[in-house]
Amino acid sequence: MSTSQNILHAPSARSVRADDAVPSVLDVSNLRVVFEGDTRTVTAVDGVSFSVKKGRTLAIVGESGSGKSVTSLALMRLLPEHTARVSGNVNFDGRQLLTEPTSTMRSLRGNRLAMIFQEPMTSLNPSYTVGEQIKEVILRHRQMSKKEAAERTIAMLRLVRIPSPETRYHQYPHNLSGGMRQRVMIAMALACDPELLIADEPTTALDVTIQAQVLELMRELQQKTGTAIVLITHDLGVVAESCDDVIVMYAGQVVEQCSVEELFTFPQHPYTVGLLGSLPRLDEKRERLAAITGTVPDMANPPAGCRFQARCPFRINKCAEMPALMEVSQSHFSRCWRAPMEDLVP
Amino acid sequence: MSSLLARRLLQLIPTVVILSLIIFSLQHLLPGDPALVLAGENPDEATLAAVRAQYHLDQPIFVQYIFWVKGVMTGDLGESMRHNRPVLDLILLKLPVTLQLAIMGIVVALILGVLGGVISALRQNSAVDYATNVVSLAGISVPNFWLGIMLILFFSVHLGWLPASGFVSPSEDLKMNLSTTIMPAFVLGTAIAGVIMRHTRSAMLQALESDYVRTARAKGLSEWVVVFKHAMRNALTPIITLGALEFGALLSGAVLTEQIFTIPGFGKLIVDAVFTRDYSVVQGVVLVTSLFYIILNLLADIGYILVNPRLRS
């Protein structure tokens, strides 16, 4: 097989996963999000399907504009209703999230479905104390007195390892560093023990050392609580470190779906290969990082056929037709006419 | 916070000094000898000299300034030549009237402006939004005197519901007081409501698009809490400053409205004083309104600190 497998010392790729029996928390099928503007209509998410298993982490990977953030906001029903048309099926614990009444969604959000965002600097309200903002979500979803909620807030701050939580409780977001604020966001999201946590680029805005701490914290809390996580990122290093399964998105579509080990050892879509090729590595001598040439297509007028073809070094005539997401090996899917290919290595 | 407040109070000193210099020199920029005015008709040299000595007009200008400041500090703003009464008495007599109008005006403006701004932000690009915008633009553009006259024509002349002019003190008859002040207060309020509405709308739109509002929604909070607790708190901070400035403008700028509704307030006092060359009254009124402006600005800054935790620590 490939040389990269040896380097990563990954367990045998393409092995049947033993935990396929783990029940899934979230099942998304054929999710479509269309933004209707005055002059143009953009299909930001085009038929995306995936499921997230209990206690596991699914990474959604892709570059800016691939539709990964829109996907997460669509699941939470947080997209502006007058411009975004969302269709498909989102099954969360037997409920169809896209058709539930707004009141039901509100009682799920922050409670059983939680979300943290990319910008800890702006995601907290500057006018309220950190404690007030965490307490608010507890009081909203739990039958607790204000005192109990305040105690739970302090316990949550302690859980995310914020030093002297009693003092921090009364401080405002501007008194805290970026890493601290993201910990506060995590405490807020986990305050009601959600079954599913959606983390949209939770570490992108942080310093590298802080990134590692925050990821480590999330992983540790997941082990304690059994929360399933959807981690949206463009950083393959984050994927390798903290995820179980991965979907790669390109131009609103899933182009590859597999386990994390498979992604690094046996990538089956040229776009994934390109992403891996643009990762800096210390274990190989390279003249320069291989960037993917070209840019993401205009989603108001996506090209016919494979959406990656204009940037693809493996292009063939057949790419003028849109390939389906095909199973190339057990639990490994690729949207490429040429998959499976043994030599598709970065 | 206390150091910020102290700094803010220190900044007042040069402002007040410059203000006093401007107002003091107002009197000296005017043509003519005040002694001639004060000494009555055809005075002889001895009377003039006596008058000059009495009012320190024979002293160097700097000394005159010191005497004037001393007088102002002890509440002596001079005499009105026309009314033969201390200026301070006149001001204290008229101030409550203008203050009442200004407060009613700003309340009308805040209710209409904030409500309109929030509604049009929540219903951005809807018919309601466009209608609110048109109405607010009309509020800004329509001159006060025209709106005042139209209101008088409709409510006083046509319907006969409200008195066309005049003023009744609230201590005398509260109901009559309100019916004489409601129209001028509405005229004053609508002119400002438009400005406040536009600011509220854009501040609310910005707040509603912010990340922390998305977070609030992701917490499952009701739309009411999202809008009124999370978005509005941040959107209204600039409105505090705007409201204070507009309130100051109402205190000094109600001249036309008071004239139309013949309300015996500050505006009328200053217009009458200008026409009769009653300079000490003009000076006194300008001084008091300027001081109000300065105090309101200070209060706005304090309010701003109170609602904005980033300034507090």
Q: Tens digits of per-residue pLDDT, A185-214? A: 999 998 998 999 999 988 887 788 888 888
Selecting from A111, A126, A175 the residue whose C-beta is nearest the C-beta of B313 gives A175
Check residue A14 and give its pLDDT.
35
Q: Does residue A115 surpass a pLDDT of 90?
A: yes
Kindly state the DSSP code that residue A345 receives in the 8-state scheme: -
Distance CA B49, CA B31 (A): 19
Asked whether the beta carbons of B260 and B61 are under 8 A apart, the reply is no
Q: Residue A110 phi/psi, 5° resolution?
A: 80, -15
**ipTM value for the complex:** 0.83
What are the domain boundaries of chain A?
Answer: 122-191
Q: Does residue A18 surpass a pLDDT of 70?
A: no
Asked whether the beta carbons of B121 and B205 are under 8 A apart, the reply is yes
Whether A175 sits inside 8 A of B220 (CB atoms) is: no
| Closest-approach residue (CA) in chain A for B309 | A127
Tokens of A239: 């994927």
B227 interfacial to chain A (CB closer than 8 Å)? no
Check residue A33 and give its pLDDT.
94
Highest mean pLDDT among A78-87, A145-154, B64-73: A145-154
Selecting from A126, A128, A136 the residue whose C-beta is nearest the C-beta of B219 gives A136
Tokens of A1: 């097989």
Residue A113 confidence class, pLDDT cut points 50, 70, 90: very high
Q: Does residue A173 surpass a pLDDT of 60?
A: yes
Check residue B307 and give its pLDDT.
79
B215 interfacial to chain A (CB closer than 8 Å)? yes
How many alpha carbons lie under 13 Å from residue A306 in its C-beta half-sphere?
25
**Residue of B215, B224, B228 to mutate, interface with A, max A Cβ within 10 Å:** B215
Whether B234 sits inside 8 A of A172 (CB atoms) is: no
Q: What residues of chain B score a pLDDT lower than 50?
A: none
Residues 6+ apart with CB under 8 A from B90: B80, B83, B269, B281, B284
Residue A4 confidence class, pLDDT cut points 50, 70, 90: very low
Distance between B29 CA and the closest CA of chain A, angstroms: 50
Distance CA B68, CA B46 (A): 24
Asked whether the beta carbons of A245 and A259 are under 8 A apart, the reply is yes
Residue A148 confidence class, pLDDT cut points 50, 70, 90: very high
What's the sign of the alpha-carbon dihedral B205, B245, B310, A145? negative
Check residue A301 and give its pLDDT.
82
Tokens of B132: 């609110």
Whether B220 sits inside 8 A of A185 (CB atoms) is: no
Tokens of B3: 């150091």
If one counts every other C-beta atom within 10 angstroms of the C-beta of residue B68, the result is 20
B226-236: burial string, b at 16+ Cβ within 10 Å, e else: bbebbbbbbbb
If one counts every other C-beta atom within 10 angstroms of the C-beta of residue A188, the result is 29
Whether B221 sits inside 8 A of A110 (CB atoms) is: yes
Q: Does residue A32 surpass a pLDDT of 80?
A: yes
In 3-state terms, chain A is what percent helix, strand and coil (to 5)? 35, 25, 40
Distance CA B184, CA A157 (A): 55
Classify residue A80 as left (phi > 0), alpha (psi -120 to 50) or beta.
Answer: beta
Selecting from A106, A119, A125 the residue whose C-beta is nearest the C-beta of B220 gives A106
Distance CA B103, CA B99 (A): 6
Check residue B25 and give its pLDDT.
83
Check residue A285 and give its pLDDT.
59
| Closest-approach residue (CA) in chain A for B310 | A174
Residue A138 confidence class, pLDDT cut points 50, 70, 90: very high
Asked whether the beta carbons of A241 and A215 are under 8 A apart, the reply is yes
Domains of chain B: 2-87 (no CATH), 88-312 (1.10.3720.10)
pLDDT digits (tens, 9 = 90+) for A288-342: 556 677 777 887 888 888 999 888 888 888 888 999 999 988 889 999 988 787 6
Q: Does residue A254 surpass a pLDDT of 80?
A: yes
Residue A282 confidence class, pLDDT cut points 50, 70, 90: low
Query: Which amino acid does the sequence have at B144?
Result: N
Average pLDDT of span A26-41: 90
Whether B310 sits inside 8 A of A172 (CB atoms) is: yes
Q: Residue B301 phi/psi, 5° resolution?
A: -65, -40
Whether B218 sits inside 8 A of A78 (CB atoms) is: yes
Chain B residues whose CB is inside 8 A of the A115 CB are 218
Q: Which residues is A36 bridged to in the sheet?
A: A41
> Percentage of chain A surpassing pLDDT 90?
47
Query: Which amino acid does the sequence have at A180?
Result: M
Distance between B131 CA and the closest CA of chain A, angstroms: 20
Nearest 10 degrees: CA dihedral of A189, A185, A199, A69? 110
Beta strands in chain A (DSSP E): 24-36, 41-53, 57-61, 84-92, 95-96, 113-116, 196-200, 228-233, 245-250, 253-259, 326-329, 332-334
Check residue B63 and give its pLDDT.
86
Q: Does residue A287 surpass a pLDDT of 80?
A: no
Chain B residues whose CB is inside 8 A of the A184 CB are none
Highest mean pLDDT among A16-25, A111-120, A299-308, B253-262: A111-120
Check residue B245 and give its pLDDT.
85
Question: CB contacts < 8 Å between A and B, how many?
Answer: 72
Check residue A289 and give its pLDDT.
58
Asked whether the beta carbons of B280 and B78 are under 8 A apart, the reply is yes
Tokens of A88: 């498909």
Query: B310 or A240, which is more confident?
Result: A240
Check residue A128 and give its pLDDT.
92
Distance between A245 CA and the closest CA of chain B, angstroms: 25
Residues 6+ apart with CB under 8 A from A36: A83, A84, A85
Distance CA A28, CA A86 (A): 12
**Residue of A70, A76, A127 to mutate, interface with B, max B Cβ within 10 Å:** A127
Selecting from A106, A107, A123 the residue whose C-beta is nearest the C-beta of B215 gives A123
Q: What order do you get walking across the sheet with A332-334 strand by strand?
A: A113-116, A196-200, A228-233, A57-61, A245-250, A253-259, A332-334, A326-329
Residue A278 confidence class, pLDDT cut points 50, 70, 90: low
Distance between A58 CA and the closest CA of chain B, angstroms: 20
Whether A172 sits inside 8 A of B217 (CB atoms) is: no
How high is the mean pLDDT of chain A?
85
Query: A12 or A40, which is more confident?
Result: A40
Chain A residues whose CB is inside 8 A of the B310 CB are 126, 172, 174
Average pLDDT of span A276-281: 68
If one counts every other C-beta atom within 10 angstroms of the C-beta of residue B128, the result is 14
Check residue A9 and give its pLDDT.
38
Selecting from A78, A128, A140 the residue whose C-beta is nearest the C-beta of B214 gives A78
| Closest-approach residue (CA) in chain A for B207 | A125
Q: Does residue A11 surpass a pLDDT of 50?
A: no
Q: Does residue A88 surpass a pLDDT of 90?
A: yes
Whether B212 sits inside 8 A of A78 (CB atoms) is: no
Whether B221 sits inside 8 A of A188 (CB atoms) is: no
Residues of A in CB contact (< 8 Å) with B are: 76, 78, 105-111, 114-115, 117, 119, 122-129, 136-137, 140-141, 172, 174-175, 185, 188
Whether B221 sits inside 8 A of A78 (CB atoms) is: no
B162 interfacial to chain A (CB closer than 8 Å)? no
Check residue B154 and give its pLDDT.
87
Tokens of B212: 């922390």
Check residue A142 and give its pLDDT.
92
Check residue A152 and give its pLDDT.
94
**Residue of A77, A83, A97, A123 to mutate, interface with B, max B Cβ within 10 Å:** A123
Residue A129 confidence class, pLDDT cut points 50, 70, 90: very high
Average pLDDT of span A270-291: 70
B59 interfacial to chain A (CB closer than 8 Å)? no
Asked whether the beta carbons of A45 and A71 are under 8 A apart, the reply is yes
| Closest-approach residue (CA) in chain B for A198 | B218
